[in-house]
Amino acid sequence: MKETHRFISGILFFFAFLTSLLIIFILFFLLSYGLKIFQFISFKDFFLNPVWNPTGYFKNDYGLLPNLWGSFLVTSLALIIAVPFGIFSAIFLSEELRKITWLYNLTKGIIELFAAFPSVIIGLFGLVYLAPLIQKIFSLSSGLCVLNGGIILALMSLPTIISLCEASISQVPLTYKEASYALGVSRFQTTLKIVLPTAKSGIIAGILLGFGRAIGETMAMLMVLGNSPIIAKSLFQPTRTLTTTIAIEMGETAKNTPHFFALFMLGVVLFIISFIVNLIGNYFAQKRIKIII
Amino acid sequence: MKIKIKFENFSLWFGNNQILKNINLEIPEKNVTAIMGPSGCGKTTLLRAINRMNDLIPDTKVCGKVFIDNENIYDANVNLLTLRKKVGMVFQKPNPFPKSIYENIAFGLKVHKFKNIKERVTKALIDANLYDEVKDNLYRSALNLSGGQQQRLCIARAIAIEPEIILLDEPASALDPIATAKLEELIHKLKKEYTIVIVTHNMQQAARVSDYCAFMYLGELVEFGKTEDIFVRPKDKRTEDFLLGKYG
């Protein structure tokens, strides 16, 4: 009995160890390639250069900014759309729909199913349906732009945001709400001033993890953003994100060239951003669990 | 003596389950009225009928009337928020909001647009016999207080918005004897200004704090009268059995 236990925990330890080792290896690999770019250009030429033109005729530019700005713009737009939608849906789900169990379960099922949708299909929707619509409404030459990307990304991060916010809001004890109602406070005020502040940690976690999901998204963005490596000044311009630049260019780059290393460095930046966001998001998610327990 | 709350042929159902059966009861103003009875007899439901908290439970049906100051609170045009401002409530388990002590009391004041919030918070804490214990920690989380302090904070929160009636739903059931004694002392003080209705299944407590006493059994109001009369000369056999500890 004891031997079996030891044997199994040994196997489990081995796989867990292997997984962490792999992750550390990937990180090491990313850094070792990425940092080599600084043998060719200065920090300033990478971090502060507003031009990304790795195959220029006279001069090659490996500026982080157009890619970072694209990621930032699309992700922020996505959150601006998704956060209010997500929180309101979560409130509706947990405070209203919960009473009708079958409909509640059905709706939650659909939302969770949506999270499992392949991103290429959502991208297809943006490309085939949303792009012509945006083009027509705003009379643009192309509907592949920041706005399109933001909407698609909002759709993709909504399930994460809704699920986490909903879980957090429905865990607010009934006694808090009762106390508030008993003071003659309306449902609206109770939700706004008692329920939401109590569920705050979970809501922040939901938003951050939704952000983490959004910033790493590649395929759908590749399809709907128009992919021009410029610093977009309006919602109707095409742009690129950290992820799409890597995906587009990695395939056609010669190994061990500055371009190759620059793409890895973009990956490093992306990794650092998602790592930090996920770390903070998980911190809030943990905090939520502690409060509830 | 003036009657503050009056139940008239009042019945209540949760789904098909009749919880209250044709209750007729007159609760006098500025006194403590205790509602006693074994578990599941409907005493909490009766209490929650006074501020219509039962409305929160889906599938609740009522029949009959409840008057507060001669106004039927089950009329269609009654404003629930105004009603609940007038009828404060303290629950079985202390349930302060996860906010600071100050915010716990200021919350209701702000919602009801009171002025001089700071003074009112202080006054509510003094009236609830809590001020001296918390005056240096007003901005600390209310969840750090002891159970007894939390319960007195809940009373402070309720009286801050100037209700006329206070409903107490087994307020001492989660408290130790010393905290209970403090709470009862507070109830005694508060009855000069408020009409208090307290639900308890603890007979000694009912005897100690109340002026009037109602005994309920299986959804019916069995007996109501002055506390000393009920305890000394119960008229109904069921009341007598309860007081002798035959069920509880």
Q: What is the pLDDT of residue A293?
A: 43
pLDDT in tens, B35-90: 998 888 999 999 999 999 999 888 899 999 999 999 999 998 999 999 999 999 99
Cα B51 to the center of its chain, rounded Å:
10
Q: Where are the alpha helices (DSSP H) in chain B?
A: 43-50, 80-86, 101-111, 117-127, 131-134, 147-160, 177-190, 203-209, 227-232, 237-243
Indicate the pLDDT class of residue A230, thresholds 50, 70 and 90: confident
Q: Please state the φ and ψ torsions of residue A262, each to the nearest 5 degrees.
A: -65, -40
Closest residue in A to B58 (Cα–Cα): A99
- CB-CB neighbors (< 8 A) of B154 in chain A: 179
Chain B interface includes A218 (CB < 8 A): no
Distance CA A265, CA A275 (A): 15
Q: Which two tokens stand for residue B230?
A: 């009920």
pLDDT at residue B123 tops 60:
yes
Residue A185, min C-alpha distance to chain B (Å): 6
Chain A closest-CA separation from residue B188 CA (Å): 22
Q: What percent of chain A is modeled with pLDDT above 90?
A: 72
Q: If residue A222 lies in a helix (H) or strand (E), which one and from where to where?
A: helix A219-224
Domain spans, chain A: 2-39, 46-292
CA distance A99 to chain B (A): 8
Chain B hits for A197, Cβ within 8 Å: 98-99
Q: Has residue A70 got a pLDDT over 60?
A: yes
Partners of B83 on chain A (C-beta within 8 Å) are 184
Residue B109 predicted with pLDDT over 50: yes
Task: Give the per-residue pLDDT at A3.
Answer: 82
Q: Which residue has the tokens 């006074």?
A: B50
Query: Band of the pLDDT at A289, cuts 50, 70, 90?
Result: low
Report yes or no: A194 at the B interface, CB cutoff 8 Å. Answer: yes
Q: What is the pLDDT of residues B22-31, one digit of tens each?
A: 999 999 999 9
The whole-number average pLDDT for the span A245-266 is 92
AA identity, residue B139: Y
pLDDT over threshold 90, residue A58 = no
Is residue B66 within a helix (H) or strand (E), and if so which, with residue range?
Answer: strand B60-68
Write out chain B residues lying below 8 Å of A99, CB-based. 58
What are A148-169's pLDDT values in tens digits?
Answer: 999 999 999 999 999 999 999 9
**Cα nearest neighbour of A196 on chain B:** B98
Q: What is the mean pLDDT of chain A?
A: 91
Burial of A32 by CB count in 10 Å (0-12 exposed, 13-18 middle, 19+ buried)? Answer: exposed
CA dist., res. A274 & res. A145, Å (int): 23
- The domain defined by A46-292 folds into MetI-like fold (1.10.3720)
Share of chain A above pLDDT 70, in %: 98
Closest residue of A to B84, CA-based?
A184
Q: What is the mean pLDDT of chain B?
A: 92
List the single residue in A with minimal CA-CA distance to B161: A183
3-state secondary structure of B14: strand
Q: What is the pLDDT of residues A140-150, one digit of tens each?
A: 989 999 999 99
Q: What is the pLDDT of residue B247?
A: 67
**Sorting pLDDT into bands at 50, 70 and 90, what band is A290?**
low
As to burial, measured by CB atoms within 10 angstroms (0-12 exposed, 13-18 middle, 19+ buried), residue B60 is middle
H/E run at residue A21: helix A2-34
Contacts 24+ apart (CB under 8 A), B19-27: B19/B45, B19/B219, B20/B45, B20/B46, B20/B49, B20/B219, B21/B218, B21/B219, B21/B220, B22/B64, B22/B220, B23/B64, B23/B220, B23/B221, B24/B221, B25/B214, B25/B221, B25/B224, B26/B224, B27/B3, B27/B195, B27/B197, B27/B212
Is the pLDDT assigned to residue B248 strictly greater than 60? no
Mean pLDDT, range A54-76, rounded to an integer: 91
Q: Delineate the domains of chain B, giving CATH numbers in brackets.
A: 3-243 (3.40.50.300)
CA distances from A270 to A67, A119, A264, B13, B175 (A): 10, 19, 10, 60, 54
First to last CA, chain A: 34
pLDDT per residue as tens digits for the range B188-224: 999 999 999 999 888 889 999 999 999 999 999 999 9
Q: How far apart are CA B66 and CA B25, in angstroms?
A: 9
